Structure 1
Amino acid sequence: MLKPFVPPIEYEDAKEQAIDILTQMTLDEKISMIAGHNMFFTKGLERFKVPSMYMSDASQGVNIRRELDDQLEKSVAFPCSIALASTWNTELAGTYAKSIGEECRAGEIAVLLGPGINIYRVSQNGRNFEYLGEDPYLTSRITENYVLGMQGTGTIATLKHFVANNTDYKRRTSNSVVDERTMHEIYLPGFEAGINAGAMAVMTSYNLVNGEYAGQNKDLITGILREKLGFKWLVMSDWWSVWDAQKVIASGLDLDMPGEPRQEYPDYTKKPEHFVRYSAKSLIQEGKVKEADIDKMVTNVLTTKIAMGLLERPIKDTSFLKNFDEHEAVALQTGRESIVLLENKNVLPIIPSDEIYIIVTGEYADKIPFGGGAAEVVGYDQITMINGLKEMYGDKVSHIENPTDEEIKSATHIIYSTGTFDSEGWDRPFDLPDTINQEILHITSLNKNTIVSVSSGGGVNMNAWNKDVGALLYNWYPGQLGFRAFAEIISGKTNPSAKLPITIEKKFEDSPGYGYLPSGSELYTGWDQDHRIIDPIQDVVYDEGVFVGYRWYESKHIEPLYAFGYGLSYTTYAYGNLVLDQKVIPAGSPLHLSVDVENTGKMDGQEIVQVYVRDMESSVPRPVKELKGFQKVYLKAGKKKTIDFTLVERDFSFWDVATKKWKLEPGVFEICIGSASNTILAKAQLEIK
Structure 2
Amino acid sequence: MTMITPGSVSAPQPAAAPSVTEAELDALVARLDLPARIRLLSGGSTFRTRPEPAVGLRAMGVSDGPAGVRGEKWDERDTALVLPSATALAAAWDDDLVTGLGVLLAAEARRKQIHILLAPTLNLHRTPAAGRHFECYAEDPLLVGRTAAAYIRGVQAGGVAATAKHYVANDSETDRLTLDARVDERTLHEVYLAPFEAAVRAGVWVVMSAYNRVNGITMSESPLLAEPLKGSWGFDGVVVSDWGAVRSTEGAALAPQDLAMPGPHPLWGEPLLAAVREGRVPQEAIDDKVRRILRLAARVGALDGVLPPRSAPAPTPEAARRLLRRAVAAGCVLLRNEGGLLPLTPAPAPTGASTNPAPGGTTGGLPGADMGGAAPGAGGAVAGGGPGGANPPVRRLAVIGPNAAAARVQGGGSAGVFPEAVVSPLEGIGEALSGTGTEVVYAEGVSLATRPTPLHPGNSRDPRTGEPGVLVRYLAADGTEVCAEHRLSGRILEPGDAPELARTAATVEVSALVTPATPGEWRFAVVGLGAVTLHADGEPLIDTHVAAESDDPTYVHVAPSFRTATRKVVPGEPLHLVATRQLAPDQGLAVALAADPPRPDEDQALAEAVACARGADAAVVVVGTTDEIESEGFDRPSLALPGRQDELVAAVAAVNPRTVVIVNSGGPVELPWRESAPAVLLCWFPGQEAGHGLADVLFGRAEPGGRLPTTWAAGAAGAPLPATAPDAGVLHYAEGPYLGHRAWRRAGAAPAYWFGHGLGYTTWAYESLRADDDGTLALVTVRNTGARAGREVVQVYLTTGPDDHDDGSPRLAGYAAVQAAPGATAVAEVRIDPRAFQRWSPRHAAWIPRPAPYTLHAGPSCAYHPLSHPL
Tell me if TM exceeds 0.5.
Answer: yes
Structure 1 unpaired stretches of 5+: 262-271, 520-536, 583-588
Could you say which residue in structure 1 is the equivalent of 2:711? 503
Could you say which residue in structure 1 is the equivalent of 2:402? 363
AA aligned to 2:234 is G
Could you tell me which of 771, 780, 783 is aligned with 1:598? 783
In 2, Cα distance between the equivalents of 1:380 and 1:210? 44
Partner SS for 1:628: strand
1:22 paired with 2:29, answer yes
Contact 2:175–2:726, Cα closer than 8 Å, also in 1: no
AA aligned to 1:563 is W
Could you tell me which of 77, 84, 94 is aligned with 1:79? 84
Using the TM superposition, give the Cα deviation of residue 683 of structure 1 relative to its aligned residue in structure 2, in angstroms. Answer: 0.9
Could you say which residue in structure 1 is the equivalent of 2:317? 324
In 2, Cα distance between the equivalents of 1:168 and 1:4? 34
Could you say which residue in structure 1 is the equivalent of 2:374? none
Q: Which moved more, 1:187-196 or 1:354-363?
A: 354-363
Contact 1:455–1:476, Cα closer than 8 Å, also in 2: yes
Structure 2 unpaired stretches of 5+: 1-6, 349-393, 445-604
1:236 paired with 2:244, answer no
The change in CA–CA distance for 1:3 and 1:56 in structure 2 (over 3 A counts) is closer
Partner SS for 2:866: strand
Using the TM superposition, give the Cα deviation of residue 645 of structure 1 relative to its aligned residue in structure 2, in angstroms. Answer: 2.8
Could you tell me which of 703, 708, 724 is aligned with 1:516? 724
Using the TM superposition, give the Cα deviation of residue 149 of structure 1 relative to its aligned residue in structure 2, in angstroms. Answer: 1.2
Contact 2:397–2:439, Cα closer than 8 Å, also in 1: yes
1:382 paired with 2:422, answer yes
Partner SS for 1:618: coil
In 1, Cα distance between the equivalents of 2:430 and 2:152? 37
Contact 2:798–2:855, Cα closer than 8 Å, also in 1: yes
In 1, Cα distance between the equivalents of 2:193 and 2:726? 26
Could you say which residue in structure 2 is the equivalent of 1:481? 689
The structure where helix makes up a greater share of residues is 1
Could you say which residue in structure 1 is the equivalent of 2:462? none
User: Aligned ranges for residues 633-652 of structure 1 at < 5 Å?
Assistant: 633-647=818-832, 649-652=834-837
What is the Cα-based RMSD across aligned positions, in Å?
2.4
Contact 2:399–2:621, Cα closer than 8 Å, also in 1: yes
Partner SS for 2:165: strand
1:438 paired with 2:647, answer yes
Q: Which moved more, 1:434-443 or 1:384-393?
A: 434-443
In 2, Cα distance between the equivalents of 1:16 and 1:581? 45
Q: Which moved more, 1:446-455 or 1:503-512?
A: 503-512
Could you say which residue in structure 1 is the equivalent of 2:43? 36
Using the TM superposition, give the Cα deviation of residue 413 of structure 1 relative to its aligned residue in structure 2, in angstroms. Answer: 1.6
Could you say which residue in structure 1 is the equivalent of 2:203? 198
User: Aligned ranges for residues 66-215 of structure 1 at < 5 Å?
Assistant: 66-67=73-74, 73-215=78-220
Contact 1:602–1:637, Cα closer than 8 Å, also in 2: yes
In 2, Cα distance between the equivalents of 1:324 and 1:512? 45
Could you say which residue in structure 1 is the equivalent of 2:742? 551
Contact 2:856–2:870, Cα closer than 8 Å, also in 1: yes
In 2, Cα distance between the equivalents of 1:160 and 1:142? 14
Q: Output one character per residue of 1:624-664: Cα deviation in whole Å (capped at 9) or x when no partner.
A: 11011101111111111122234364321111111122111
Q: Output one character per residue of 1:539-598: Cα deviation in whole Å (capped at 9) or x when no partner.
A: 11111111011111112211011100000111100001222344xxxxxx4443322111
Q: Which moved more, 1:465-474 or 1:429-438?
A: 429-438
The change in CA–CA distance for 1:224 and 1:3 in structure 2 (over 3 A counts) is farther
Contact 2:210–2:220, Cα closer than 8 Å, also in 1: yes
In 1, Cα distance between the equivalents of 2:179 and 2:720? 17
Could you say which residue in structure 1 is the equivalent of 2:844? 659
The change in CA–CA distance for 1:619 and 1:86 in structure 2 (over 3 A counts) is closer
In 2, Cα distance between the equivalents of 1:613 and 1:318? 39
Using the TM superposition, give the Cα deviation of residue 210 of structure 1 relative to its aligned residue in structure 2, in angstroms. Answer: 0.8
Contact 1:17–1:303, Cα closer than 8 Å, also in 2: no
The change in CA–CA distance for 1:121 and 1:425 in structure 2 (over 3 A counts) is same
Could you tell me which of 272, 281, 285 is aligned with 1:280? 272
The change in CA–CA distance for 1:483 and 1:315 in structure 2 (over 3 A counts) is farther
In 2, Cα distance between the equivalents of 1:27 and 1:591? 51
Contact 2:47–2:262, Cα closer than 8 Å, also in 1: yes
Contact 2:159–2:311, Cα closer than 8 Å, also in 1: no
Could you say which residue in structure 2 is the equivalent of 1:524? none
AA aligned to 2:177 is R
Partner SS for 1:104: helix
Using the TM superposition, give the Cα deviation of residue 50 of structure 1 relative to its aligned residue in structure 2, in angstroms. Answer: 0.5
The change in CA–CA distance for 1:228 and 1:319 in structure 2 (over 3 A counts) is closer
The TM-score with structure 2 as length reference comes to 0.71
Partner SS for 1:611: strand
1:45 paired with 2:52, answer yes
In 2, Cα distance between the equivalents of 1:661 and 1:552? 25
Identity %: 28
The change in CA–CA distance for 1:542 and 1:303 in structure 2 (over 3 A counts) is same
The change in CA–CA distance for 1:73 and 1:317 in structure 2 (over 3 A counts) is farther
Using the TM superposition, give the Cα deviation of residue 680 of structure 1 relative to its aligned residue in structure 2, in angstroms. Answer: 0.9
The change in CA–CA distance for 1:315 and 1:438 in structure 2 (over 3 A counts) is farther
Q: Output one character per residue of 1:76-95: Cα deviation in whole Å (capped at 9) or x when no partner.
A: 11111110100000111111
Contact 1:116–1:132, Cα closer than 8 Å, also in 2: yes
AA aligned to 2:32 is M
In 1, Cα distance between the equivalents of 2:229 and 2:342? 48
1:454 paired with 2:461, answer no
In 2, Cα distance between the equivalents of 1:474 and 1:197? 30
Partner SS for 1:173: coil
Q: Which moved more, 1:109-118 or 1:327-336?
A: 327-336
The change in CA–CA distance for 1:601 and 1:368 in structure 2 (over 3 A counts) is same
The change in CA–CA distance for 1:237 and 1:513 in structure 2 (over 3 A counts) is farther
Partner SS for 1:671: strand
Could you say which residue in structure 2 is the equivalent of 1:616? 801
Using the TM superposition, give the Cα deviation of residue 345 of structure 1 relative to its aligned residue in structure 2, in angstroms. Answer: 1.7
AA aligned to 1:664 is P
The TM-score with structure 1 as length reference comes to 0.89
Contact 1:106–1:317, Cα closer than 8 Å, also in 2: no
The change in CA–CA distance for 1:387 and 1:317 in structure 2 (over 3 A counts) is farther
Using the TM superposition, give the Cα deviation of residue 433 of structure 1 relative to its aligned residue in structure 2, in angstroms. Answer: 3.1
Could you tell me which of 324, 340, 343 is aligned with 2:333? 340
AA aligned to 1:413 is A
Contact 2:443–2:612, Cα closer than 8 Å, also in 1: no
In 1, Cα distance between the equivalents of 2:866 and 2:193? 30
In 2, Cα distance between the equivalents of 1:581 and 1:236? 42
User: Aligned ranges for residues 456-475 of structure 1 at < 5 Å?
Assistant: 456-462=665-671, 464-475=672-683
Could you tell me which of 427, 439, 442 is aligned with 1:399? 442
Using the TM superposition, give the Cα deviation of residue 518 of structure 1 relative to its aligned residue in structure 2, in angstroms. Answer: 4.5
AA aligned to 2:430 is K
